[in-house]
Structure 1
Amino acid sequence: MNFSIATAALIAIVPAVNALAPVFTPDATAPVFGLPGKPFNTDYMFDPLGLSEDKDYETMKQYREAELQHGRVAMLGALGMLITEEPIEFHPLFESNIKDIGPAIRHLDEVRATTPFFFEILVAAIGGYEFNRALRGWANPGDVLGSGRVFKEGYFPGDVDFDPLRLAPADPDEFYELHTKEINNGRLAMIGWAGMVAQELVNGKEIFVNLGLAENRFDPSSVPIQF
């Protein structure tokens, strides 16, 4: 159990492939200063709300950092929803892998009931990761309301120097292409995860059950909290 908890906590905070990014030179004439990550392979930048209008390069890097980190969490979250529900039902943090714990929107109830200290471990692990990210990327992370929001010179959004699988290519063009794929997959995951959660909140059924690809074996009376 302890191994499973520690493993899950680490997986929950693992970033993706942005490690040791090559030097990036911003282009003031290009949308969002030429940062990689356009959703379409054209010169058109999709920004219907105008969030990037009249923003300086430092602000756009902050936006990209936030978007990238949320996308990474969403990719892990979407995958986690699917593998812990029918028909896979892999949930090592719970007492029994043969117990059907229903849709992902109910899983935290079960975690708190069977492994109550997991949340404290997870918060500590996330805090450690965020502390390391702040030290690596921010010029003065201790000054939250002032210069602490400014990145270090040469810091590329998402580059937390973590790439155990050596996925990041050394060639700048290949690196930025991989970065574009990562951020676009993250955007898709954020939309997809939100959609899956919304669907489960509507009818309380698991994703593959909704798709007709799995049997609905969930008994709501079996979970710790009833609603």
Structure 2
Amino acid sequence: MNTFTLTLIAAAAGSAAAFAPSQQGRASSAVEAKAFSDDFGAMAPLGLFDPLGLIEDGSQKKFDMLREYELTHGRVSMLAVTGYLVTAAGIRFPGAGDVPAGLKAFDYLLASKDGQNVLLQMLAFMAVATIVNRDAEWLDNEAEFVGDYRNGSLDFGWDKFDAETKLKKRKIELNNGRAAMMGIWGLVVHEGLGVSILPGNILP
């Protein structure tokens, strides 16, 4: 077991100990009384996870901003994990059969003019997606919740769900996004270490 692995285990153990339930009733009550501890994003086993105290002041505006960041990063990470796994499985767009999987794709694309054009197209797409996927404040439309970017034009049956189903689906998205953020980070770190965590010991 190398030093890097031991460091990760120690950090995880320290984090778990820091947020373990307190044995003193008074301390537990104080934790439960924290602002936003009853939000649907505060889930077991950690409950409200705010180790840096970013929302201790109870500011709803700051909380909504951080939740929007969390949702955005989660959505991007879900796409990143999907793309990573799809390319690791050998699936490519026509004409991109020689592009390697994983992080090596960037070096490959940067090495040629055509590859650089692909990277510029990716950058342009991300810029447009960032502009489009946000709450259109200039429209006569009110977002139902933080991260609701339908702007009165998309529905996909959402308005037909009852309140309980909507909350359930929002929890699913939040948890999937959190898992994907850790997932893409794990894939990138293991690729850097040269240790595969994919089926068949595939290492991009």
Q: TM-score, normalised by structure 2?
A: 0.66
For the pair 1:80 / 2:80, whether they are aligned, the reply is no
- Output the amino acid matched with 2:55: S
Which of residues 152, 163, 168 in structure 2 aligns to 1:172? 163
Which of residues 22, 36, 43 in structure 1 aligns to 2:40? 36
In the aligned structure 2, how far is the partner of 1:45 from the partner of 1:60?
12
Residue pair 2:99, 2:109 contacting (<8 A) in 1 also? no
Partner of residue 66, structure 2: 63
Q: Which runs of 5+ in 2 are unaligned?
A: 1-32
* Greater fraction helix: 2
Structure 2 CA distance for partners of 1:201 and 1:127, relative to 1, 3 Å: same
- Output the amino acid matched with 1:89: G
Q: Which runs of 5+ in 1 are unaligned?
A: 1-28, 140-151, 219-227
Per-residue CA shift, 1:91-144, capped at 9, x if unaligned? 216532xx472x5011122334354322222222222222234461589xxxxx
* Within-5 A mapping of 1:30-179: 31-32=35-36, 34-40=38-44, 44-85=47-88, 88-92=89-93, 95-96=96-97, 99=98, 101=100, 103-112=101-110, 113=112, 114-134=114-134, 136-137=136-137, 156-161=145-150, 165-166=156-157, 170-179=161-170
Secondary structure, counterpart of 1:79 in structure 2: helix
- Output the amino acid matched with 1:199: H
Structure 2 CA distance for partners of 1:168 and 1:74, relative to 1, 3 Å: farther
* Within-5 A mapping of 1:173-192: 173-192=164-183
- Output the amino acid matched with 1:191: M
**Which range moves more in the overlay, 76-85 or 112-121?**
112-121
In the aligned structure 1, how far is the partner of 2:149 from the partner of 2:134?
9
Report the CA distance between 1:170 and its aligned residue.
2.8
Highest relative contact order (Cα 8 Å, sep 6+), 1 or 2?
1
Q: TM-score, normalised by structure 1?
A: 0.60
Residue pair 1:84, 1:90 contacting (<8 A) in 2 also? yes
Secondary structure, counterpart of 1:48 in structure 2: coil
Task: Among all aligned residue pairs of Structure 1 and Structure 2, give the percentage whose two residues are the same amino acid.
Answer: 25
- Output the amino acid matched with 2:146: P
Report the CA distance between 1:169 and its aligned residue.
5.2
Measured on the aligned residues, the alpha-carbon RMSD in Å equals 3.3
Residue pair 2:134, 2:147 contacting (<8 A) in 1 also? no
- Output the amino acid matched with 1:122: M
Residue pair 1:93, 1:115 contacting (<8 A) in 2 also? no
Per-residue CA shift, 1:19-72, capped at 9, x if unaligned? xxxxxxxxxx87428543233289x32333323211411111000000100001
Aligned residues between the structures:
167
Per-residue CA shift, 1:160-207, capped at 9, x if unaligned? 10757546753222112111111111111111111110111112x654
Structure 2 CA distance for partners of 1:136 and 1:121, relative to 1, 3 Å: same
